[in-house]
């Protein structure tokens, strides 16, 4: 007798009730058709232990999909139409702007023409609104866990000039910073260079963080197969990188990294080598969407602070400089890993040489001499020249010296493993400090540092701050008490943080969590009444009932305040 068929595991919906797999597939396809993107789907990688990656294709090509563009124009909000007014006549009404746009897309404009650029600008504005629906809000399409920070990584797609020690420092520091901050990570998404290094780092660790890759559709290997898929379908991805002199430039393709969790693929009509770097503007727009969105509310029903961002630069070339410039133009901090060579080292050399020029030091070089010393490989892709490379470095240098945020820190900072370790030269700490320079108020920075459990950063923020927000300090003190982190509480007490006695008792009671402490016979605690998720100081039934938090709180009470 043949064995009975295996029992099918019933899938469960978000409500916990069993759901029919066929209906679930239908619902998924229905949802996929409604999203504001050209294509959506899922990629399954045989070489990855991680879950299949979700992807969307963003259409920014002004010469295709006329019907889709007319629909996009009809759905433009007032803010987007206002932003497009300078392209026409500022005196026109919003309805007139909409009519002009529909007239423009009725026939394909010449590539590179003014009309072509207007339509491209319109598509980018529309896509920015769509990207917000992708990652932010309760009904977000990807439904990602809320971040408290965004760490964006850019750099070389080829071999990196880094020793094993430098690679280890980079991986450990990035992983530590992402874990502490509960961050999202963003890269260029391809299976090469620093993007591959970030992907492998996440696969080899136990840290589960979203890793979003933003790449140009025109360089994606196996995109022809992906293009034929229906929305919402799973594709077993097997793309391979095809570069080199034997492959025509328009057919250059790069495989996607198998260890990223999500991909945004930007289609603006360019193919092969010409498409490299064409995703930078939309990547910057996506970063801005994330960093200007609130991901939930706190216990007092107030919106959570928008997550700060830092860009980490490793190696790279001209397109890396474009990414850095786009980030600095958004007034966001950049940390450069100098040891990685390429554009990263060029930025440091330029920065140092500018200082020498300002001081009129003997070792200062002219800009032309410094560019010549870089020995750039010519011709460079996408019509880059030594002059344009030099002009971009000058812009980056000027933007990077501007001081932003509550701490008024320069937006461009550098890290090297050869710098003095005793002066706090840790890459993970440099990343955390730079994240806080993307925050406008000291108290928001202190709130983040408390959630990260970093007393050193709290001290730095409060030492250098000119703000004296007693109410805000009391709020973060209360949070620190609830988090049961004695070092953080002690750091706040040093700055005269005060909170009502009733809140101290409330926080302590919440920390104990319905435990029954028998103080009649100290130092014994009844272990039978302790909850499963009890604080660390209650794990030992013979430990003192006086918890570590209370050891660091001075016991003189004045008018209901712990002071």
Residue 323 has pLDDT above 90, yes or no: yes
Phi and psi at 184, nearest 5°, equal: -95, 150
Render pLDDT for 360-374 as a digit per residue (tens, 0 to 9): 888 899 999 999 999
Residue 530 — very low, low, confident or very high, per pLDDT cuts 50/70/90? Answer: very low
> For every residue of 178-237, which 3-state class applies, written as one string?
HHHHCCEEEECCECCHHHHHHHHHHHHCCCCCCEEEEEEHHHECCHHHHHCCCCCCEEEE
Phi and psi at 267, nearest 5°, equal: -105, 110
Residue 553 — very low, low, confident or very high, per pLDDT cuts 50/70/90? Answer: very low
283 in a structural domain: no
The top-scoring range by mean pLDDT among 362-376, 407-421, 525-539 is 362-376
Contacts of 299 (CB under 8 A, 6+ apart): none
Give the residue among 471, 455, 453 at the shortest CA–CA distance from 561: 471
Total domains, the chain: 2
Residue 312 has pLDDT above 60, yes or no: yes
Looking at residue 10, what is its pLDDT?
35
Render pLDDT for 112-131 as a digit per residue (tens, 0 to 9): 778 777 877 777 777 777 88
| Burial class for 226, CB neighbours closer than 10 Å (0-12, 13-18, 19+) | buried
Residue 517 has pLDDT above 70, yes or no: no
Give the residue among 53, 28, 21 at the shortest CA–CA distance from 235: 53
Residue 249 has pLDDT above 90, yes or no: no
Q: What tokens does 276 get?
A: 């490299």
| Residue pair 180/427 in contact by the 8 Å Cβ criterion | no
Last residue of a domain, one of 253, 278, 303: 278
Q: What domain range is 268 assigned to?
A: 35-143+189-278
Looking at residue 191, what is its pLDDT?
93
Q: What is the mean pLDDT of residues 515-533?
A: 37
Last residue of a domain, one of 245, 262, 278: 278
Antiparallel, parallel or unpaired: β 211-216 and 184-187: parallel
411 in a structural domain: no
Q: Give me the residue label for tokens 């977000």.
A: 140
The answer to whether the bond into 379 is cis (omega within 30° of 0) is yes
Residue 515 has pLDDT above 60, yes or no: no
Looking at residue 377, what is its pLDDT?
82
529 in a structural domain: yes
41 in a structural domain: yes
Residue 509 has pLDDT above 70, yes or no: no
Q: What is the mean pLDDT of residues 508-532?
A: 39
Lowest model confidence (mean pLDDT) among 19-28, 237-246, 261-270, 314-323: 19-28
Q: At what angle do helices 367-374 and 386-400 cross, to 10 degrees?
A: 110
Render pLDDT for 32-41 as a digit per residue (tens, 0 to 9): 334 567 788 9
The rounded mean pLDDT for the chain is: 77
Residue 516 has pLDDT above 70, yes or no: no
Residue 343 has pLDDT above 90, yes or no: yes
Q: What is the mean pLDDT of residues 169-178?
A: 92
Residue 244 — very low, low, confident or very high, per pLDDT cuts 50/70/90? Answer: low
For the chain, give the percent of residues with pLDDT over 90: 30
Lowest model confidence (mean pLDDT) among 154-163, 247-256, 444-453: 444-453
Looking at residue 563, what is its pLDDT?
37
Looking at residue 65, what is its pLDDT?
63
216 in a structural domain: yes
Render pLDDT for 187-227 as a digit per residue (tens, 0 to 9): 999 999 999 999 999 988 878 899 999 999 999 999 999 99
Lowest model confidence (mean pLDDT) among 103-107, 324-328, 436-440: 103-107
Give the residue among 217, 284, 224, 230 at the shortest CA–CA distance from 256: 217
Which residues on adjacent β-strands are paired with residue 42? 54, 234
Question: Regarding predicted confidence, which is higher, 352 or 17?
Answer: 352
Last residue of a domain, one of 278, 311, 345: 278
153 in a structural domain: no
For the chain, give the percent of residues with pLDDT over 70: 75
Q: Give me the residue label for tokens 């980079």.
A: 170
Q: What tokens does 538 get?
A: 């209650």
Q: What is the mean pLDDT of residues 310-320?
A: 94
| Residue pair 230/165 in contact by the 8 Å Cβ criterion | no
Q: Is 29 helix (H, G, I), strand (E, B) or coil?
A: helix
Lowest model confidence (mean pLDDT) among 115-129, 133-147, 499-513: 499-513
256 in a structural domain: yes
Residue 535 has pLDDT above 90, yes or no: no
Q: How far apart are CA 77 and CA 126, in angstroms?
A: 8
Residue 421 — very low, low, confident or very high, per pLDDT cuts 50/70/90? Answer: low
Residue 95 has pLDDT above 50, yes or no: yes
393 in a structural domain: no
Question: Regarding predicted confidence, which is higher, 454 or 212?
Answer: 212
Q: How far apart are CA 454 and CA 182, in angstroms?
A: 14
């Amino acid at each position: 007798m043949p064995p009975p068929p295996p029992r099918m595991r019933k899938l469960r919906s978000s409500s916990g009730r069993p759901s029919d797999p066929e209906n679930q597939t239908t619902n998924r396809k229905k949802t996929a058709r409604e999203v504001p993107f050209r294509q959506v789907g899922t990629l399954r990688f045989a070489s990855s232990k991680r879950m299949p990656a979700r992807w969307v294709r963003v259409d920014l090509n002004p010469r295709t999909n006329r019907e889709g563009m007319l629909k996009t124009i009809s759905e433009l909000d007032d803010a987007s139409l206002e932003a497009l007014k300078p392209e026409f006549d500022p005196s026109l009404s919003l309805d007139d702007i909409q009519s002009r746009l529909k007239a423009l897309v009725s026939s394909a404009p010449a590539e590179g023409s003014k009309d072509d650029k207007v339509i491209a600008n319109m598509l980018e504005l529309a896509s920015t609104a769509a990207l917000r629906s992708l990652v932010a809000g309760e009904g977000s399409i990807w439904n990602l866990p809320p971040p408290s920070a965004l760490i964006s990584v850019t750099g070389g797609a080829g071999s990196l000039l880094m020793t094993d020690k430098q690679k280890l420092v980079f991986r450990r520091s990035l992983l530590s910073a992402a874990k502490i901050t509960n961050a999202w990570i963003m890269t260029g998404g391809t299976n090469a260079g620093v993007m591959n290094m970030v992907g492998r780092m996440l696969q080899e660790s136990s840290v589960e963080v979203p890793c979003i890759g933003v790449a140009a559709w025109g360089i994606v290997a196996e995109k022809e197969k992906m293009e034929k898929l229906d929305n919402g379908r799973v594709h077993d991805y097997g793309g391979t990188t095809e570069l080199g002199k034997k492959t025509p430039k328009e057919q250059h393709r790069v495989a996607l990294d198998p260890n990223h969790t999500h991909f945004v693929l930007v289609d603006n009509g360019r193919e092969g080598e010409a498409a490299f770097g064409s995703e930078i503007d939309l990547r910057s727009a996506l970063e801005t969407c994330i960093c200007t969105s609130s991901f939930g509310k706190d216990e007092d029903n107030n919106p959570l602070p928008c997550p700060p961002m830092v860009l980490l630069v490793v190696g790279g070339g001209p397109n890396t400089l474009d990414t850095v410039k786009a980030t600095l133009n958004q007034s966001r901090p950049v940390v450069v890993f100098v040891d990685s060579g390429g554009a990263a080292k060029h930025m440091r050399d330029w920065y140092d040489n500018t200082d020498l020029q300002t001081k009129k030091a003997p070792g200062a070089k002219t800009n032309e001499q410094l560019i010549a010393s870089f020995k750039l490989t010519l011709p460079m892709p996408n019509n880059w020249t030594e002059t344009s490379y030099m002009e971009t470095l000058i812009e980056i240098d000027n933007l990077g010296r501007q001081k932003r945020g509550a701490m008024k820190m320069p937006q461009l900072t550098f890290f090297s493993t050869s710098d003095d370790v005793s002066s706090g030269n840790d890459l993970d700490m440099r990343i955390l400090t730079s994240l806080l320079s993307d925050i406008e108020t000291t108290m928001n920075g202190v709130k983040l540092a408390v959630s990260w459990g970093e007393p050193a950063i709290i001290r730095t923020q409060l030492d250098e701050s000119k703000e004296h927000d007693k109410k805000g300090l009391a709020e973060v003190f209360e949070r620190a008490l609830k988090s049961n982190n004695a070092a953080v509480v002690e750091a706040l007490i040093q700055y005269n943080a005060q909170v009502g006695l009733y809140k101290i008792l409330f926080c302590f009671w919440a920390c104990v969590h319905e435990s029954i402490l028998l103080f009649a016979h100290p130092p014994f605690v009844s272990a039978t009444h302790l909850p499963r998720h009890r604080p660390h100081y209650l794990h030992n039934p013979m430990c003192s009932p006086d918890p570590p938090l209370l050891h660091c709180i001075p016991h003189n009470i004045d008018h209901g305040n712990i002071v």
